[in-house]
């Protein structure tokens, strides 16, 4: 997998995917089930901040959910610290509203969604991963591995790493343990949305037996603007929650 160079040129399609989204009926709430006010917490991909999910958040509010972001400026730090950020926000929403929280994570954010749902199934109703390898943390293209290596050096240089193997599969932090733990599929609904045209993450890792796996067509970056992804998210969120 480390020899896979991905499809960087194909990732420029995200602008076309955004253009198609805004003229599709789904963007205005057409043809999808609407929500019941459940809080939905969003987590961005590697290097992304909350702003990368602004269009998705706007749409979720439009169809009847209460979207929230976790306060990421750039998702490049220690995974354990990042997961704690998402967990604090999720628990605050749980306490404030009295309802279990749904999680939607793009790419690396999908890792957080899976990990937090495994750690706190009593507080999470749905975990939706968009374009993330749910089998391992490094099922990504070689250029993306270089970016991860740069981010890792930054974490180590600023002494923000929780463990010596921070941001590697050998890390022993709480995030890694939660991400690798058996998923509580009898308590949390897990959905994995992926594209075989993904130019950043190898799609095979998104197909896991513990999830409802939904294939769409599109680029990795464009998944957060993809009209088919939005339909899949609406369908996933509309599924009744399991007993927590």
Domain assignments of the chain as residue spans, ordered by start = 34-121+142-184
Cα distance between residue 118 and residue 203, in whole Å: 22
In a structure prediction context, what are the per-residue pLDDT tens digits for the chain, which is 244 residues long?
448 989 989 899 999 999 999 999 999 999 999 999 999 999 999 999 999 999 999 999 999 999 999 999 999 999 999 999 999 999 999 999 999 999 999 999 999 999 999 999 999 999 999 999 999 988 899 999 999 999 999 998 998 888 888 988 889 999 999 999 999 999 999 999 999 999 999 999 999 999 999 999 999 999 999 999 999 999 999 999 998 6
Cα distance between residue 103 and residue 114, in whole Å: 9
User: Which residues touch 202 (CB under 8 Å, ≥6 apart)?
Assistant: 1, 4, 133, 139, 140, 141
Contact 141, 200 (CB under 8 A): yes
| Torsion angle in degrees (nearest 10) through CA of 28, 34, 37, 38 | -110
Q: What is the pLDDT of residue 107?
A: 97
Give pTM, 2 decimals: 0.95
The tokens describing 48, both together, are 């992304």
Q: What is the pLDDT of residue 2?
A: 47
Q: What is the pLDDT of residue 161?
A: 87
* Strand runs labelled E in 93-163: 101-106, 124-130
Phi, psi of 170 (to 5 degrees): -85, 0
Compute CA 91 distance to the chain's CA centroid, rounded to the nearest angstrom.
18
Residue with token string 């769409």: 216
């Amino acid at each position: 997998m480390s020899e896979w160079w991905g499809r960087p040129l194909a990732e420029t399609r995200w602008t076309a995917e955004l253009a198609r989204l805004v003229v599709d009926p789904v963007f205005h709430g057409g043809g999808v089930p609407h929500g019941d006010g459940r809080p939905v917490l969003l987590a961005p991909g590697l290097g992304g901040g909350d702003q990368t999910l602004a269009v998705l958040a706007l749409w979720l509010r439009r169809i009847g959910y209460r979207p929230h972001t976790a306060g990421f400026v750039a998702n490049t730090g220690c995974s354990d610290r990042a997961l704690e950020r998402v967990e604090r926000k999720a628990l605050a929403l749980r306490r404030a509203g009295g309802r279990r929280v749904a999680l939607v994570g793009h790419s690396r954010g999908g890792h957080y969604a899976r990990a937090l749902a495994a750690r706190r199934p009593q507080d999470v109703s749905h975990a939706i991963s968009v374009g993330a390898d749910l089998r391992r943390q490094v099922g990504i293209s070689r250029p993306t591995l270089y970016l991860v290596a740069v981010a890792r050096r930054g974490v180590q240089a600023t002494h923000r790493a929780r463990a010596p193997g921070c941001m590697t599969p050998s890390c022993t932090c709480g995030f890694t343990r939660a991400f690798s733990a058996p998923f509580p599929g009898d308590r949390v609904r897990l959905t994995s949305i992926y594209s075989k045209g993904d130019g950043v993450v190898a799609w095979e890792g998104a197909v896991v037996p513990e999830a409802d796996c939904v294939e769409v067509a599109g680029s990795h970056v464009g998944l957060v603007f993809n009209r088919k992804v939005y339909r899949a998210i609406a369908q996933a969120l509309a599924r009744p929650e399991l007993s927590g």
